[in-house]
Structure 1
């Protein structure tokens, strides 16, 4: 389960994972038509997206199923209400909430019910904001070499979803109107240790047995060292905004 996977690396998660651009909050505010009277974040983890969402200035509730992640979240954002529960177990307040956000956790929610549950959690006319990163490489040669390093250490097939897969998921659900996609893109340089730390927080890596994890980290680390000790990520952030019909 994702809860067990990411709780294992709670101490490193918020340090290794890159944050989100502040423009995400600005786009949510503009779409919503101002500051929501309350914002609920689903699958908040240790708060990598929370640190941007608090910039909206709305009272916040974070729903996070892993207690270890929730403890770090509470320590970082004492002003935020933290509920330790899976989204499927959380009960929204009567009448729903004006805004609901989910960052890099939409794929962990039940695909058969996530859109309906999100719609039901929102007040009529409420805003849904789903966003996440896609990791690529500025230099195609670096990307090819790193992918080859992963495959040399672990040839098991792994296919990344499309950048905007959750746009199609939300737009095709029939539960929302005015569905919009807002892309952001930036270059993020990482040294070898920082890149290995990032890889260590990815779910495919956490699912590997310990010896295989070490082989993967060694292989990608040697590859980045071969570039002079720095890899530059092409970090693509996709924000999907949608509205529950009034």
Structure 2
């Protein structure tokens, strides 16, 4: 009997495509993080580092960076990306199973991956991993459309070919995760205080080929039956080609920041 695919583990199937197509993070995020932290942290841990999109940004801090990534294929690409970089270490593990260094770290970050961490334990585990007054930084992209006409046409294609993932109108990324991040979770977590939300908006053009590659890296698309996914992507390709062969994504990069308060909270491990 075939083992069911787990949604959080499908990214390794397309690790190289993920690295090529996913958007980088704007440098402005780093300024917002260090400004909130009132300085450069001594050590950083990244949760769900993937192929290193967020890691590349965090590496610019110039301090030791530990990348925790559960998928072996993603972790292998990540390790190659930082070959011979003494400041970066890659740990193949789930954040739920990883153990932080004694005393914790100054900055715990997660780029587009926090929703995959057990939502019943993640804030407690984050508090355990941080020093007193350490900072949690959760950030990620929302891929909207700069062209309202194209957005409406995209919605119609999803409704026709994959209505089960067409629940977020106007967005090619349909992220229905049982552990989707709710800011109220941080605001009410006993281990954190000073919760802050920032946004950075940029427009990134994708030609048809890169756009389809991008879609192939999103888990709701990967979980579709192959024939259905092919039909959906063929219809989307025809649509993009008819609109000049370019999708202009309006990327809203959200950043949530919180400061650890008092003693670490038990993570339920």
TM range (shorter): over 0.9
Per-residue displacement from partner, 1:127-177 (whole Å, max 9, x unpaired)?
100001111101111111112112211122543479x95433322323211
Aligned counterpart, 1:185? 201
Q: What is the CA–CA distance in structure 2 between the aligned matches of 1:59 and 1:94, rounded to whole Å?
A: 15
Gap runs ≥5 in structure 2:
1-5, 169-174, 263-269
Q: Please state if 1:142 is matched with 2:150.
A: yes
Aligned counterpart, 1:115? 123
| Contact 2:136-2:258 at 8 Å conserved across structures | yes
Q: What is the CA–CA distance in structure 2 between the aligned matches of 1:158 and 1:107, rounded to whole Å?
A: 19
Alignment of 1:23-172 (within 5 A): 23-78=28-83, 79=85, 80-160=88-168, 165-172=181-188
| Contact 1:2-1:108 at 8 Å conserved across structures | no
Q: What is the CA–CA distance in structure 2 between the aligned matches of 1:26 and 1:2, rounded to whole Å?
A: 33
Aligned counterpart, 2:3? none
| TM-score normalised by L of structure 2 | 0.87
| Contact 1:153-1:212 at 8 Å conserved across structures | yes
3-state SS of the aligned residue for 1:228? coil
Q: What is the CA–CA distance in structure 2 between the aligned matches of 1:195 and 1:96, rounded to whole Å?
A: 40
Shift of 1:197: 0.8
| Contact 2:8-2:219 at 8 Å conserved across structures | no
Shift of 1:209: 1.4
Q: What is the CA–CA distance in structure 2 between the aligned matches of 1:59 and 1:232, rounded to whole Å?
A: 36
3-state SS of the aligned residue for 1:87? coil
Shift of 1:57: 1.4
Q: What is the CA–CA distance in structure 1 between the aligned matches of 2:122 and 2:162, rounded to whole Å?
A: 32
Q: Please state if 1:244 is matched with 2:260.
A: yes
Shift of 1:4: 2.6
Q: What is the CA–CA distance in structure 1 between the aligned matches of 2:237 and 2:149, rounded to whole Å?
A: 16
Gap runs ≥5 in structure 1:
none
Q: What is the CA–CA distance in structure 2 between the aligned matches of 1:220 and 1:21, rounded to whole Å?
A: 27
Gap change, CA 1:10 and 1:96, over 3 Å in 2: same
Matched residue pairs, number? 245
- What is the root-mean-square deviation in Å for CA atoms of aligned residues? 1.6
3-state SS of the aligned residue for 1:220? helix
3-state SS of the aligned residue for 1:156? helix
Q: What is the CA–CA distance in structure 2 between the aligned matches of 1:43 and 1:140, rounded to whole Å?
A: 33
